[in-house]
Amino acid sequence: MKILDYDYCVIGSGLAGLLSALHLGREASVLVVTKKLGVDSNTNYAQGGIASVMAAQDSFEAHVADTLEAGAGMCDEAVVREIVGDGPLAVAELEALGLAFTQRDAGEGGGYDLGREGGHSERRVLHAGDITGREIEAVLLQRVAEAPNITLREHAMAIDLITTGWLERRGVETGVAGQDGSRCVGIYFLDRTSGEICAVRAPRVILASGGGGKVYLYTSNPDVATGDGVAMAWRAGLPIKNMEFIQFHPTCLYHPEAKSFLVSEAVRGEGAKLVDQHEQEFMSRYDTRGALAPRDIVARAIDEEMKLTGAPCMYLDIRHQTRAFLEERFPNIFATCLGFGIDMSRDLVPVVPAAHYFCGGVEAAVNGATAMRGLYACGEVACTGLHGANRLASNSLLEAVVCARRMADHVVATPAPHFEMPPIPDWEYGDAVPSDEAIVVEHNWNEVRTCMWDYVGIVRTDKRLERAARRIGNLHHEIYDYYKDYLVMVDILELRNIAAVAEMIIRSAQLRRESRGLHSTLDCPVAGVDRVDTLISDPPGGDTHLAG
């Protein structure tokens, strides 16, 4: 088995992962593993932008207040202030790397063309057209390619974390586990090109693997978003926090050929209204802010209108804007809609909610530190306390930039203890054979995602959660047996992870006996008085750490 030795191993090639690598790679060796191409990440799909206080009429206090209100009492205010306060620095950092944010015309006074999105009281969203994430990803991949100390390994899917506690249980003497608790010392990964299982040995591992929207049948996320990092951390026994708070983006394009295409919240920021099939505006009945209410409110309103009327979708109406304006402000969205026969300047745009962002994740500090030594987490995979029960639009890119830098500064300032890196055992294939039942994997994939959409979606009930728990629990054991019996392949690894993430979401939702933010249950429709985090760390029976 190939064992690769690096100072740092970063899992994920989105904004958090690549920026972490750039910071850490200045004086040390870094391996970035990503399971498809480097460009395949949630970051690449981000349209809106990065929220930061940049205008004279705006203030940090206003941004903090908007974030706390959206978070429905679950944000950590100290964390919010820390990250919001670093906004201008985050913007400057991206610009120094080569990102060009869209500017206003000189006739309009020049400066940043700041957008406004749901939940924001001011225009404070910097963007690069309507493909901000794609532009960020392109810039960072170029900088990583130029960095002599960074290796980007594509088509390499992380399987599990390697910890000293697990090694000691395998009879490997590490000289570490008994002294300061279990440490993370590397990962196993599948080389998708050769089919080999390899290992990375590194004293510091950074989880930046993004979210898990593919746990749901309908999502705005790309196919790679299967919650791998959260699942690996859970199997290693780390605390996972607030997984019931899944943000459903209110406006994904509803079209049979439009695979999860997101219509940015910035469209509503430029005056688009939400209307029903009779062109009647309805959001004012749910919130005084109308279409610019926070995402949880808008998504629930659309969901309720669809259920009340039996309509398959609702609509965005931005026909008051000219075609020239829309083509300039939203070139990608306008062109994509037009490709499906929808002219935004003349037609209503059909939309439906879809799973979008995980506010929960691996419990981590702003500096990325987790409960396990040697393991750090930043970006969507981490739960820092910024988002609380509902993420404020465009705060995710802000968090990724700030936390990647804070993590790198902390790691560099805190040298790893001196210890000899332990030997890594070869991967044990046992009696595993090549799979001849791919249809089982496909069936279980569909069953997990359909179950989550039907029973653990935008609005929940105790009965729905109980049904989901039984079905996912049975599937989890079936998937575990399949994982043991057959040689490792990407589909089974991803299925194993989405089943684990599904179980975390269900268990966390059952623990929250109230409706708050993104967690809405008909059995407990009122929010409680006190903030209560949901923490789970014990993986289900059978699917233990490195069971393969």
> Looking at the annotation, which residues are catalytic?
295
Q: How far apart are the first and last CA of the chain?
A: 15
CA distances from 172 to 5, 8, 125, 180, 523 (A): 18, 22, 51, 16, 50
Element (H, E) at 303: helix 295-309
Q: Torsion angle, CA of 402/20/36/153, rounded to 10 degrees?
A: 170
* DSSP strands (E only) in 127-245: 150-153, 156-163, 184-191, 197-201, 204-207, 240-241
| DSSP codes of every residue in 449-481 | HHHHHHHSSSSB-HHHHHHHHHHHHHHHHHHHH
Burial 192-213 (b: 16+ CB within 10 A, else e): eeeeebbbbbbbbbbbbbbbbb
Residue 1: other Cβ atoms inside 10 A: 11
Q: How far is the C-alpha of 520 from the C-alpha of 305, rounded, in Å?
A: 16
Residue with tokens 């903030």: 531
Element (H, E) at 349: strand 349-358
Q: How far is the C-alpha of 327 from the C-alpha of 206, rounded, in Å?
A: 39
